[in-house]
Structure 1
Amino acid sequence: MKYTQLNIPDIILIQPRVFGDHRGFFMETFRDDEFNLKVTRNLKVTRKTNVARVTFVQDNHSKSSQGILRGLHYQIKQPQGKLVRVISGEVFDVAVDIRKSSPFFGKWTGAILSAENKTMLWVPPGFAHGFYVLSNEAEFTYKCTDYYAPEHEKSILWNDPSIAIDWPIIPGTSPILSQKDKTGSTLENAEVFA
């Protein structure tokens, strides 16, 4: 797999090697030894932490229709790192750094993830995460480093002007949001990580 740091170096785009022919294709979507070698080395360099390894404890799978925007979500306690990928359709996936001590605090990065490009994104703990569905529908899967804890879940407004995410909203439409996402906090008022 190819691991590429994005403009926020802790966010890593992962491109698997795909072996295909007239019968279909084969690819590895996760390999613990390689992932931990690449990701923990990156974390040590960019955050000067002493991370030993990343362990995943929960896998999730969601399906959404075109125009749905989910996010920006995070858990202030039991923070989750997420390894995300799309297995059907296409989304614009976004991570926002909400670590107050980070030089990238309040900055965002994003990537198109699709069943066609088979690209994955590593979003470590300390980030708010969201995505917008570009295709007619999309199925989204992700591995998490901690368990879902709804009592600790928070949401930052998807259109907070202080973050200014350049969402590729389909012309002539507005994103379809849950009630929770309509009433998220601004970054200025959000509970964030130290």
Structure 2
Amino acid sequence: MLEVRSLGLEGVLEIIPRRHGDARGFFIETYNEERFAEAGIDLRFVQDNHSYSAAAGVLRGLHYQLAPRAQDKLLRVIRGAILDVAVDIRRGSSSFGKWLALEISAEKGNQILVPKGFAHGFVTLVPDTEVLYKVTDTYSPQHDRSIRFDDPAIGIEWPAVADGFQLSDKDLKAPLLAATEVFA
């Protein structure tokens, strides 16, 4: 059994699997194709990714892939906590450029589904955070794109981090939303 909550932007969902626990620990079924289909989520995942961030304040994003290699992402945290962000980059959408954020943690056991047509990023809230995510297409450098995490036109409210954010060169050099290729 799993609980599925809409987060306010079309297709972005919080998924809360049932946790079975006892004195030994717990068990969670994080993905079951049949159960997801029953909940209206009919996706075929083809690749799993794992990221580790040593420090709090590691910011990854905002990333996406263009069609025909666009990816749906199902993301969870297995150690630590993140603030996960999705930005609607479907130019014809009434919510184009709008964003939402959700705290995802190993403690909560929650997940987020970020569909195609959204840029995605996260910042680690605690040190030693590990994130696992499934995607519906493999990585394609030719279709890979990014948007600047602090684009004022989007206005994401990232949490304050004592030592500032740690970003890759790619993310520091990412273009603003107005200057990048997005979904029609």
Number of residues of Structure 1 aligned to a counterpart in Structure 2: 181
Higher normalized helix content (fraction of residues): 1
**Does 2:182 match 1:181?**
no
Counterpart in the other structure of 1:64: 53
Q: Whole-Å Cα distance in 2 between the matches of residues 150 and 30 of structure 1?
A: 27
Q: Which amino acid is 1:70 matched to?
A: R
Counterpart in the other structure of 2:43: 54
Structure 1 residue ranges without an equivalent (≥5): 41-52
Instruction: Decide which of 141, 144, 151 is 1:150's aligned counterpart.
Output: 141
Measured after TM superposition, the shift of residue 37 of structure 1 is 3.0
RMSD: 1.1
Residues 51-73 of structure 1 show CA distances to partners (whole Å, capped at 9, x for unaligned) of: xx311010111101221100000
Secondary structure at the counterpart of residue 163 of structure 1 = coil
Measured after TM superposition, the shift of residue 31 of structure 1 is 1.1
Structure 2 residue ranges without an equivalent (≥5): none
Counterpart in the other structure of 2:8: 7
Counterpart in the other structure of 2:181: 191
Extract structure 1 runs of 4+ deviating beyond 6 A: none
Measured after TM superposition, the shift of residue 18 of structure 1 is 0.6
Q: Which amino acid is 1:6 matched to?
A: L
Counterpart in the other structure of 1:24: 25
Residues 133-162 of structure 1 show CA distances to partners (whole Å, capped at 9, x for unaligned) of: 011121000000001112211110000011
Instruction: Decide which of 107, 110, 125 is 1:116's aligned counterpart.
Output: 107
Q: Normalising to structure 1: TM-score of the pair? A: 0.90
Equivalent residues in 2 for 1:74-85 (5 A)?
74-77=64-67, 78-85=69-76
Q: Which amino acid is 1:7 matched to?
A: G
State the percentage of identical aligned residues.
Answer: 47
Measured after TM superposition, the shift of residue 36 of structure 1 is 2.3
